[in-house]
Homo-oligomer: A and B are copies of this chain.
């Protein structure tokens, strides 16, 4: 038999993967992530991903055993990148005042609508596919962690419940803004978050 199954990750040593192959797999994931942001879940097809990554169609089935696995890995990458971007953006500018803090929280969420839509789409998909569950939870946990760090550093340390409170509220406003794009929603959200912060800091 010829070379099937690049690495099920749990088998015998065999040969070590070649560098070019790793780059190809990465390119495929990048393409999948980009497509997911542009056209959503249904846009991530084998052919579209392959063409975008500049590789032949058959390469997609060589590196990913199924479409579900490709989508799952793309979801994981997307979550990882999103959390890092959010962390970087939030830890940089960090004012002391509650109002400024709220404004920073809300503003950061407002970048790259397509990517965020894709992210939420996959998050929702996790409600039906158990294989995506742990990635969805990792997103929530990571976001909670960022909010906690931010609150701590701003001189408003608080418990788990309060963190969940702020994180969920911001996520909720964010989702609404991404989907409905109502004018002035961002400012209102910032006001509400300010109020929430004031509520938990007493």
User: A interface vs B, CB < 8 Å?
Assistant: 39-40, 42, 113, 117, 120-121, 123-128, 133, 136-137, 140, 161, 164-165, 168-169, 171-173, 175-176, 178-182, 188, 191-192, 195-196, 198-200
**Contact B113 A117, beta carbon cutoff 8 Å:** no
A169-B169, A169-B172, A180-B137 known; A161-B128 Cβ under 8 A: no
Q: A43 to nearest B CB, angstroms?
A: 10
**Contact B172 A188, beta carbon cutoff 8 Å:** no
Identify 15 residue pairs between A and B in the complex whose beta-carbon atoms are under 8 Å apart, listed by A's number.
A113-B127, A117-B124, A124-B124, A126-B180, A127-B180, A127-B181, A136-B180, A165-B169, A168-B169, A168-B173, A172-B172, A175-B175, A195-B199, A195-B200, A196-B199
Contact of A117 among B39, B128, B175 (CB under 8 A): B128
Q: How far is the CA of A121 from the CA of B125 in the complex (A)?
A: 8
